Amino acid sequence: MNRRGTHGTLGVAVIGTGRMGADHVRRIDTVISGARVTAVADVDAERAKAVAARVDGCTAHTDPVAAMAAADVDAVLIASSGPAHEAALLAAFERDLPVLCEKPLTPDAASALRILQAEQRLGHRRVQVGFMRRYDAEHVKLKALLESGQLGRPLMLHNRHRNVASPPFFTSAMLITDSVAHEADSTRWLLGHEITAVTVLRPTPSDNAPDGLRDPQFVVFETGGGALSDVEIFVNCGFGYQVQAEVVCERGTARIGDGHAMVTNMAGRWGGTIAQDFTERFADAYDRELQAWVEATRRGDVTGPSVWDGYAAAAVCEAGVRALEDGGRVEVELVERPALYD
């Protein structure tokens, strides 16, 4: 069934008004079309009120369930912290509300599996998971090239993921669960293979890394299709935010993420600029992702990364954390893929 509020647009409740949630509120209010924010919720009441005050007719709540029950709410965007996602998703399922859930779906494979089972009981998909790289123009172009078969069978995928500096609360495991989670999804999506095993190699930490943080790390994914995917994750590189990928195939290679939209030559030097964070690098991808979700929801459809994708990424990250802590190669354990996600 089509979902459309009384104002002729999709009414969205945004759960979580931190950096990501507030940016999505701005995006719905000023960038994309077909939706409006009708309610927000955050454990910080003052923060929720401040964000709601920027949008006409938006109410502020501290309880996600109250936000979902507010007037003119047709869909839910979950941008709260990962541990809070399961309860919010289950509450949305009780109301059969469409959901865009920022990654991670949930922080671990067991809770992600519970969400998978709950959505199966509904009998239809309700969730799009926020793996926004699938909406990045360069990633979309690379995916289309691989699907065309021009380069032949993919053999290897090389990924680089660098941040200027890590937040003070970042742990060594979070390099896997909060950062490499994106490469887990993009590897599965680009190659069309499930990841079957993970190995994490640990070079001597950078002097720029906080004490006790194992940064950088080198992660190797084995896939069910026989390809290998590696990830350099370096969250205290100091110079910028970079996401790059190069696929090596039987008849050629393709590379994205170099950021060479403009190169300058002046004063005896050539060069360009490097994005400083993910909101700058993937601004367009977030816009495309949210617009696609709104359009699909308004026509009664669910597209994009599914709960299965969120569950698979959680299982891969869980294996990655074990490999980080114990060393060696750890196999990824997945349940059989339900027909709902074929």
- Looking at the fold, whether 125 and 182 belong to one and the same domain comes out as no
Domain count, the chain: 2
Residue 265 placed within a domain? yes
For the domain that residue 277 is a member of, what is the CATH number?
3.30.360.10
Residue 141 sits in the same domain as residue 255: yes
Domain range for 96 is 10-133+285-304
- Tell me what pLDDT residue 6 has: 42
Both 152 and 268 in a single domain?
yes
* pLDDT for the residue 266: 59
- 245 phi and psi angles, rounded to 5 deg: -150, 140
Q: Specify whether 330 is located in the same domain as 299.
A: no
Check whether residue 42 and residue 150 sit in a common domain: no
Q: Is 166 inside any structural domain?
A: yes
**Whether 64 and 165 share a structural domain:** no
**Structural domain includes residue 178:** yes
What whole-number distance in Å separates Cα of residue 199 and Cα of residue 177?
A: 14
The pLDDT score that the predictor gives to residue 127 is 98
295 and 317 belong to one structural domain: no
Helices (H), 149-282: 174, 181-191, 278-281
State the maximum Cα–Cα separation within the chain, in Å, rounded to a whole number. 65
Residue 87 inside a domain? The answer is yes
Same domain, 247 and 180: yes
DSSP-derived pairing of the beta strands 127-130 and 59-61 = unpaired
Is residue 231 domain-shared with residue 298, that is, in the same domain?
no
The pLDDT, as a whole number, for residue 261 is 58
In a domain, 335, yes or no: yes
Shared domain for 291 and 242, answered yes or no, is no
Give a yes or no: residue 4 inside a domain.
no
Could you give the CA distance from residue 184 to residue 189 in angstroms, rounded to a whole number? 9
DSSP code at position 109: H
Q: Which residues of the chain have pLDDT under 50?
A: 1, 5-7
CB 70 within 8 A of CB 39: yes
Q: What local confidence, expressed as pLDDT, does residue 1 receive?
A: 44
In a domain, 3, yes or no: no
Rounded to two decimals, the pTM is 0.93
CATH label of the domain that carries residue 109: 3.40.50.720
Residues 153 and 110 in one domain: no
Q: Which tens digits make up the pLDDT trace of 251-261?
A: 999 999 987 65
Q: Are residues 144 and 255 in the same domain?
A: yes
For the chain, how many residues are written? 342
pLDDT on residue 274: 76
Pairing, β 59-61 against β 195-201: unpaired
Closest by CA to 243, choosing from 162, 186, 176, 167, is 162
Residues 6+ away with beta carbon under 8 Å from 322: 330
